[in-house]
């Protein structure tokens, strides 16, 4: 079976985000970009399934403007077999549009599993996997912390508020990864060299029949307000008194 892994190019998690002077968005010029960390976990899980003989091919897909192929190349260096790049003019394609583009790719590729990140750390939308499953009419399991592929089914343990929930889904299915699913591997130097020769197929949104025009308008973007200074307290009794005054207790 084929596994499709959508990987998003995002601002690296170590970068301190700066808002553009005109408030129209965040500064992206000369900023370190990386693969969304939850997508690294998705690639790792797909590779482990392939290494366990449960999958035959791992395909990394990304949607974005110039340099997005670098992110696909990272997935190939980790071990994915090939890539698909839907090249767009702009970054920040909205989740519903991403889901429609992925649906068109899935119609052509016929994967049995699609493993996405639970959310992209730039927009924190946590929408794409759910929208994709709805558009496809496939079962979905989000926030996976364990994935076991069976015969025509997949058992997924999910992290929920009250603990862990295990679901059995019929394949094909859409899964999204949570932090504790695995620890992604680093690409070794020989694999980085090998990845340069792996194919990345380029597609346009127009040939997939999807209009990428935004449906949402960003009205403003602002920095979080700075922290106001704290105080040191001498005893637990003093802390309780302060919490009572603040109405917390
Ligand atoms: P979001 O719904 O934006 O929080 O994103 C959830 C997941 O959808 C990400 O972790 C990726 O797996 C996938 N995804 C979102 N945007 C893209 C994109 N532009 N290209 C590829 N995958 C994406």
Domain for residue 38, yes or no? Answer: yes
pLDDT at 80: 98
Residue 63: inside a domain, yes or no? yes
Per mean pLDDT, which range of 42-51, 195-204, 213-222 is the poorest? 213-222
Residues making up the chain, counted from first to last: 249
> Is 247 part of a structural domain of the chain?
no
Alpha carbons 81 and 105: distance in angstroms, whole number: 16
Task: Record the pTM.
Answer: 0.92
199 preceded by cis ω (within 30°)?
A: no
CB of 212 sitting under 6 A from ligand 1: no
The arithmetic mean of pLDDT across residues 84-89, rounded, is 97
Over residues 20-62, the pLDDT tens digits come to 988 888 998 899 999 999 999 999 999 999 999 999 999 999 9
Q: Is residue 160 part of a domain?
A: yes
Say what the pLDDT of residue 206 is. Answer: 97
Residue 236 in domain: no
Read off the CATH number of the domain in which 157 is found.
3.40.50.620
**At 202, which helix (H) or strand (E)?**
strand 200-204
For ligand 1, whether the C-beta of 37 sits within 6 Å is no
Please work out whether the CB of residue 92 comes within 6 Å of at least one atom of ligand 1. no
In a domain, 31, yes or no: yes
CA distances from 9 to 62, 135, 204 (A): 8, 23, 17
3-state secondary structure of 132: helix
Quick one: 60 exposed, middle or buried, by C-beta within 10 A (0-12, 13-18, 19+)?
buried
Q: Has residue 230 been placed in a domain? A: no
Q: Report the atom number in ligand 1 closest to the C-alpha of 132.
A: 8
**Structural domain range at position 44:** 2-224
Q: Is residue 241 part of a domain?
A: no
Q: What's the structural domain count of the chain? A: 1
């Amino acid at each position: 079976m084929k596994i499709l892994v959508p990987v998003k190019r995002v601002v690296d998690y170590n970068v301190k985000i700066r808002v553009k002077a005109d408030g129209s968005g965040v500064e992206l010029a000369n900023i370190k970009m990386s693969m969304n960390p939850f997508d690294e976990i998705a690639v790792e899980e797909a590779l482990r399934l392939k290494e366990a003989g449960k999958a035959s091919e791992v395909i990394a897909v990304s949607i974005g403007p110039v340099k997005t192929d670098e992110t696909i190349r990272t997935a190939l260096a980790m071990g994915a077999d090939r890539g698909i790049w839907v090249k767009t003019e702009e970054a920040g394609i909205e989740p519903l549009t991403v889901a429609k583009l992925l649906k068109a790719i899935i119609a052509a590729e016929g994967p049995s599993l699609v493993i996405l990140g639970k959310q992209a750390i730039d927009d924190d939308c946590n929408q794409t996997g759910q929208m994709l499953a709805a558009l496809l009419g496939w079962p979905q399991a989000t926030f996976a912390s364990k994935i076991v592929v069976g015969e025509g089914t997949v058992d997924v343990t999910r992290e929920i508020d009250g603990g862990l929930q295990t679901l059995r889904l019929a394949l094909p299915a859409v899964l999204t990864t949570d932090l504790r699913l695995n620890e992604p591997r680093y690409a070794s130097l020989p694999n980085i060299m090998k990845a340069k020769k792996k194919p990345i197929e380029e597609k346009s949104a127009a040939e997939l029949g999807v209009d990428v025009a935004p449906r949402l308008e960003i009205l403003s973007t602002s920095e979080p307000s700075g922290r106001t200074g704290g105080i040191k307290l001498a005893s637990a009794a003093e802390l309780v008194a302060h919490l009572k005054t603040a109405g917390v207790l």
